[in-house]
Amino acid sequence: MGALTLGRLALLAGLAGVLLAPWHGMEDAAALAAWPRAEAAPLAALLADGERWWMWPAVGLLALAALPLVRGRMAGGLVAACGAAILAIVFLQGQAIGLRGLAWPALAPLLGTPAPQPALGWGGALVLAAAAGLIASGLAQRGRFGGDAFIAFLVVGSAGLLLLFVFVPLLTILSAAAIEDGRLAPGALAARLAAHEAWSLACVTTHQGCGVVWNTLLLACLAAAASTLIGLAFALLSARGGVRAQPAFRAMTILPLITPPFVVSLALIVLFGRTGLVTTAMWDWFGIPRSRWIYGLPGVLLAQVLAQAPIAFVLLEGAVRAIGPSLEEAAATMGARHFVVFRTVTWPLLRPALAACLLLGFVESLSDFGNPLVLGGDFDVLSTRIFFAIAGARHEPGRAAALALLLLALTFGAFALQALWLGRRRYTTVTGKGDSGVPAPLPRGLRISCGAVAWPWMGFTATVYGIILVGGFVHDIGRGDMAFTWRHILTGFEVEWRDGIAFRGSAWDSLFTTLEVAAISAPLTAGLGILLAWLLARQSFPGRGALEFMAMLSFAIPGTVVGVSYIMAFNEPPVELTGTALILVVCFVFRNLPVGVRGGIAALAQIDKSLDEASATMGGGAVQTLRRVVLPLLRPAIVAALAFSFVHAMTAVSAVIFLVSARHNLATVYIVGRVEAGEMALAIAYCTVLILVMLAVVLGIERIVGRAQLGRRPAPLRAGA
Amino acid sequence: MTDAAIRFERVTKAFGVVRAVDDLTFDLPRGALVTLLGPSGCGKTTTLRLVAGLELPTEGRIEIEGGDVTRLAAAERRIAMVFQSYALFPHMTVLENVSYGLVVGGARRQSAEGEAQAMLKTLGLEGLGARLPAELSGGQQQRVAVARALVLRPKVLLFDEPLSNLDARLRRRVREDIRDLQKRLGLSVVYVTHDQQEALAVSDLLVVMRDGRIAQKGTPTELYDDPADAFVADFMGEANVLEGEVLASDGGMGRIAVGGAVLEAPMRAHPAGRASLAVRPEAIRLVSAEQGAGLPGRVQRAAFLGQTREYEVATEAGMLFVVTPAAAPAWEEGAEVLCRMERVIPLRT
Ligand SMILES: Nc1ncnc2c1ncn2[C@@H]1O[C@H](COP(=O)(O)OP(=O)(O)OP(=O)(O)O)[C@@H](O)[C@H]1O
Ligand SMILES: [Mg+2]
C-alpha cells in the first residue's frame, strides 16, 4: 500500500471522527437518537457551540496534514509530526480535563476552569486511529519500514494498542500501589509490600494462618511437584511402558483444555464436602466423622493437580519420546543394565523438560483464581486476597495493587529462573538423523511404581469428570440424591414458546454474552496475533524487539493482576471502559494474544522465507503477499489460534471477574456466583452445557476454516538448502 | 551508459560487522548471461538480492537499465528471480503460480491465465497447468519457476544456484535449456553458482568474487587461460603454481627457469624476474627422459580414469599434477620423465 493511499484513508477517518461520530459516547444506543446534539454530539458540533475549544489545535493539525495529502505531494516528516501531535493533544486534554473538571491545576492559567468532560467515544477513537495512520504514512513516505505503508500502519497501530492495553494498565497498578489518599507515598508502598498479611510466619509457631505469600508459594511448589510427578508417571507409561490405553490417555489430556478451571473444584466438593458422596460413605461404613478438610490447602492442591497433571503429561511425553533410542542403546551395548541406563542416560536427558514442567505448574498455580475462590476456605492465596481487597467489604485499591505487585514479582521470578535455566543448558536430542532404534523398556520396578501412581489417578480423574457429567441431571448430587431430573437444566436454560421464542432460563443472559464476547474476541485475537507474528518473523524494522516483548508480556501477567489493573486504568476518562462489553473483549484479546503470536511464529518458521520474497520480486506488495501467500499457508495456525482464544474466552474467570457487570455477565462468573449461593447442581449443569458448547464450537471452527489442505497430496514446504 | 543492464557503483552491504558485499563496482551488459562465481560465503547471493531489492545497500548506488533503483522496493523493480528452492507456492496450481505476478499486478484473471498458458507452452510444460508443485518432478518445478519469472517480461532475470537441487544428468540438460532460452529471447540474466564447470559452460561473462569483492571479470576463456592471480587460477580449475623466474617473454614464446631447468613455453608478456607461474594440468606433456629439454621428474602416482590419465610427478620445483588424454603414452609409477609446458600463466600477485 502506498503511503499516499494510507494518508488519505487516515484523513477520511479523521474527518469522520470529527464531523460524524459522537465525540464522547461509546455504546449507549439510546443516546444516539440525540445526534448531532447532547451526548451524541460529534466534535464539530461541540466546537461550533464553543465547547472543547482546546481541541482546535488538533483540528488545525489535521487540516495542515491534509494539504500535502490532497495535493498528492507527500511531505512525510510534516504528516508524521502532525499525527504525533494530534495523538498527544487528544490524550493530554483527556487526562487534564476529566469528570471533575480540570485535573491538572498547573494548566489553570492556560485552560481556565473548563467544564467536566466524559471519556472519549467513537469519535475520539477514530481521530486516534487517524493519527496513527498519519504517523505510519509519514514514516513510510520517509522510507521507514521498507517504504511500505501497510507494514508501517500495522507496527504503529499494534504498538499503540499494546501500549494502551498491556503497558498502561501495568504502569497504573504500579503507581496505584504507591498512592495513598491521592498523593504519592513511597512509605505506604513499602508498608504495603512488607505487610504482615503477606509475610507473617505465624503458622510455624501458632495455630494462626501464615502470610498469603507463603501460602501461595507453598501451594505453588506442592502443585508443581505433584503434577509433574503424576505427569511423569503417565509419560513414562505411555512412551515406554508398553501399555495399550492411548485413547484413555488422549481423553485425559483434552478434557482439562475445555473445562473451566474451577469445575474440578465443584466435583471435589460433591465428593469430599461435608455432605459429599465419599464423606457420607466413610461415615456410614467406617464411622469416620464428617469434616471440612477439603476446604483449604488440600482441596485447592487436589484441584490444581487434577487440572495441571494432564498438561505435564503432554510436555513430558514429548520429551521422553524425543530421546533418541540410539543413546540408550549405546549405553546398553556398553554393558549397562536397564536401571543403570535409565539412571545415567534417560533421566539426565529428561531433566530440562522436568524443570520446564515444574515451572509451568508453579506459574499456573500462582495465577489460578477459580479453585482457591471455590475451595480455599480460610486458606487465602494472593489471587483471592487481591480479589477481596477490591470486591470485599472494604474497597482498598492500594492494598490490592501492592498484593498484585507481589504476585507479579513471583511470576516474573519464575520466568526469569526458567530463562536462566534454559539459557545455560539446552540438550538437543532431536538430531534430524533417522533414529530408528527400539526404545529401552522401563525397568520393572519403575514400571510398577508408575502404574501405582497413574492408574488410581486415572480412575480419580474419570470419577471427577463423571460427577460433572451426571451432577446436572440428578436431584441433588451434593447430598447423594441421585434421582434423575431435568430440573436444573430447566432452571438455567428454559425456553418458552409464547408469541415467539422466549429464553426464560436464568443462565441464558450470561451464556449469550459469553458466546458473543468469545465470538468477537476470537477472530480479533487470531487476526492480530497472526499479523504480529508475521511482522515479527518476516519484517525487520526498528523497535522489533520492543514490540515482541510487549506482545509476549501479557503471557506472564496473572489474570487477577490483569483484572485489577484494567479496572484501575480504564475506570476514568479519557479511556473509560468499565461496565461495557468492550472491556471484556479487549481483555480477552490481549490476554490470549501471546498464544496466537507464538503459534504464528512457529508456523512461519516452517514456511520458507523465499516464498515471501518470490512474491515480492513478482510485484506483490505486503498486502498481496499476506493475503495470497502467507495467510493461506498459515491456515492451520489460524485455526488453532481461533479455537484456543475462543475456548479461553469461555473458560477464563480470574481477570474477567473484576470486569463483568450486571448487564454483561459471563458464564464462568455466573457459575461461581451459583456456587457461592450453594446452588451446586445448577452450577454443574451449566458447566456441562458449557463444555458441550465448546466442543461443538471447536469442532465447528475446524470444519469451516480448517478444511484447508494444501492440495490433494501433502505438499512438502521446501526449505532453502 | 544505458547499455548496462545492471550497474553497481561502490555498493557495500554490511550485516553487522560482516561486509558481505564490499565496495563493489561493475557494469553488466544487456542481453548477456553473466555468472557470479566464487567460494561459499563470498557474497554472491547478497549481490543478487541487492539487485532484486530484497536487501537494500548500506552504501552505494544501483542502476537497472539506466534508472536508479537503489531505494526502490523489490515489487517495483521489474526484475524476476528464480530461487534456489524455486519458492513455488505450494497451495497454488502451476497455472496459478505462473499467473501470480500478472494477477497481483492488476491483470484480469482470464488474460493473465492466457499469458501464463502461453509461457508454459514455451517452456514445454503444456498440460501441467492444473497440477500442484508437489506433483511435479524436480526439473519440471525448475521450469515452472523460470516460467513464473519470465511471464512478467522482466528487465533482468536472476538465478540463484538454480540447479543445485537437481541430479547431475538433469543439471546438464536444464542449464542448456536456460542458455537456449536466454539467447532466444535476448534476456539479460545474472546467474549465481559455485560450480565452475557450469559457469564456463553457459556464461557470456564471468565475475569471480572473493570476500565481497571482484577478484576478476572476463569471458570464460580469458578467465581460464589468463587468470589474474593464484586464487582465480585455482578456482577456475586445477592449477599447478610454481615459483620460478621469467628470463624473457615478449608475448609469444617465453623462457622460464623452474626447479633448475630452463624451459620454453607460450606465455603472455611479463617483465623478467621472479614470478609465480601457473600451469594447468592438461597443459603439461610428459615425454621420456632421453628427449632433451624439459623439467625432469619421477612419476609418483598414476591413475587411469577412462577418458584421461592422471599423474603426480615429483620434480625439483615441487609436485606436479598432470592430466593427459588416454590416447597419449602411459607411464608406470616410478618412471623417469621430462615435463614440458604447453602454456604457462605468469600470475600478477
Ligand atoms: N542476513 C544476514 N545476516 C548476517 N550475515 C549475512 C546475512 N546474509 C549473508 N550474510 C553473510 O554475508 C556473507 C556473504 O553471504 P552470501 O549469502 O552472499 O554468500 P554466497 O556467496 O551466496 O555463499 P553460498 O555459495 O554459500 O551461497 C557470508 O559471510 C554470510 O555469513
Ligand atoms: Mg548463496
- The domain locations on chain B are 4-230, 238-346
Q: How many CB pairs under 8 A join A and B?
A: 110
- Residue bearing cell 507463603: A214
3-state secondary structure of A679: coil
CA nearest A141: which of A149, A132, A153, A129?
A: A149
My answer on whether A170 and A273 are in the same domain is no
**ipTM topping 0.90:** no
Q: Is residue A195 part of a domain?
A: no
Give the whole-angstrom CA distance, residue A451 versus residue A459: 12
Q: Quick check: bond before A256 cis, omega within 30? A: no
Residues of B in contact with A614 (CB under 8 A): 81, 83, 87, 89, 148
Q: Are B148 and B100 in contact (CB under 8 A)?
A: yes
d(CA B185, CA B149): 13
* Contact state of A619 with B152 under an 8 Å Cβ cutoff: yes
Q: State which residues form the domain around A274.
A: 200-423+441-469
User: Hey, are the CB atoms on A613 and B83 less than 8 Å from each other?
Assistant: yes
* Domains of chain A: total: 3
> DSSP letter at B263?
E
Task: Please answer yes or no on whether A617 and B134 come within 8 Å at the CB atom.
Answer: no
- pLDDT at position A715 is 35
CB-based contacts of A27: which residues, under 8 Å, 6+ apart?
A580, A581, A582
Please tell me whether residues A166 and A227 are part of one structural domain: no
Q: Within 13 Å of residue B184, how many CA atoms lie on the same side as its CB?
A: 9
Q: Whose CA is nearest to atom 19 of ligand 1?
A: B41
A181 and A205 together in one domain: no
Which amino acid residue places its CA nearest to atom 7 of ligand 1? B15
Residue A502 lies in a domain: no
- Ligand 1 atom nearest to B194, measured from its CA: 25
- DSSP letter at B250 equals S
Q: What is the pLDDT of residues B119-174, one digit of tens each?
A: 999 888 889 999 998 888 888 998 899 899 889 888 899 999 888 877 888 888 88
Of A611, A616, A721, the CB nearest to B89: A611
List, for residues B306-328, the tens digit of each pLDDT value: 889 999 999 998 899 999 998 88
Domain co-membership, A181 together with A208? no
Tell whether A22 is covered by a domain: yes
A454 and A590 both lie in a single domain: no
Per-10-residue mean pLDDT of chain B, 349 residues long, equals 82 91 92 92 92 90 90 84 88 92 89 93 89 88 90 90 81 86 90 88 92 92 87 87 88 86 87 89 89 87 91 92 90 91 84
The residue whose grid cell reads 514445454 is B124
**Identity of the residue in A619, A717, A721 whose CB atom sits nearest the CB atom of B90:** A717
Whether A295 and A385 map to the same domain: the answer is yes
Separation of alpha carbons A161 and A532, rounded Å = 12
Q: Which residues of B touch A627 (CB under 8 A)?
A: none
Q: Given 2.30.42.10, 3.40.30.10, 3.40.50.300, 1.20.1180.10, which CATH number is that of B4-230?
A: 3.40.50.300
Tell me if B322 sits within 8 A of B339, measured CB to CB: yes
A269 shares its domain with A402: yes
Among A539, A613, A617, the residue to mutate for chain B (most B Cβ within 10 A): A617
Q: Would residue A536 count as lying in a domain?
A: yes
CB nearest to A616's CB, from B54, B88, B105: B54
Q: Within this chain, do residues A521 and A660 fall inside the same structural domain, yes or no?
A: yes
Q: Which atom of ligand 1 is nearest to the CA of B212?
A: 14
CB A536 within 8 A of CB A602: no
Q: Is residue A435 part of a domain?
A: no
* Long-range pairs of A315-319 with CB within 8 A, sequence gap ≥ 24: A315/A231, A315/A353, A315/A356, A315/A357, A315/A360, A316/A228, A316/A231, A316/A232, A316/A234, A316/A235, A316/A350, A316/A353, A316/A354, A316/A357, A317/A234, A317/A235, A317/A238, A317/A239, A318/A353, A319/A235, A319/A350, A319/A352, A319/A353
In a domain, A347, yes or no: yes
Averaged over successive runs of 10 residues, the pLDDT of chain A (721 residues) comes to 85 91 74 73 86 88 89 84 93 84 81 82 91 92 83 93 92 85 79 80 74 92 95 88 75 76 85 84 85 90 91 85 69 67 76 84 89 88 89 83 90 81 49 50 83 90 87 78 80 80 83 93 94 90 88 85 90 82 93 88 84 89 89 86 88 88 88 86 88 84 58 35 30
Q: Do A280 and A244 share a structural domain? A: yes
Q: Which CATH number fits the domain that encloses residue A688? A: 1.10.3720.10
The answer to whether residue A110 sits within a structural domain is no
Q: Say if residue A558 is in the same domain as residue A688.
A: yes
Whether residue A670 is found in the same domain as residue A633:
yes
Last residue of a domain, one of A136, A152, A186: A186
Residue A663 is predicted with a pLDDT of 84
Find, in chain B, the residue whose alpha carbon is nearest to that of A630. Answer: B89
Rounded Cα–Cα distance for residues A138 and A167 (Å): 25
Question: DSSP string spanning A175-212?
Answer: HHHTEETTEE-HHHHHHHHT-HHHH--HHHHSSS---H
CATH superfamily label, B238-346: Nucleic acid-binding proteins (2.40.50.140)
Check residue A706 and give its pLDDT.
55
pLDDT of residue A422: 61
Question: Domain check: are A241 and A364 in the same one?
Answer: yes
User: Cβ A608–B135 below 8 Å, yes or no?
Assistant: no
- CB-based contact B21:B212 (threshold 8 Å): yes
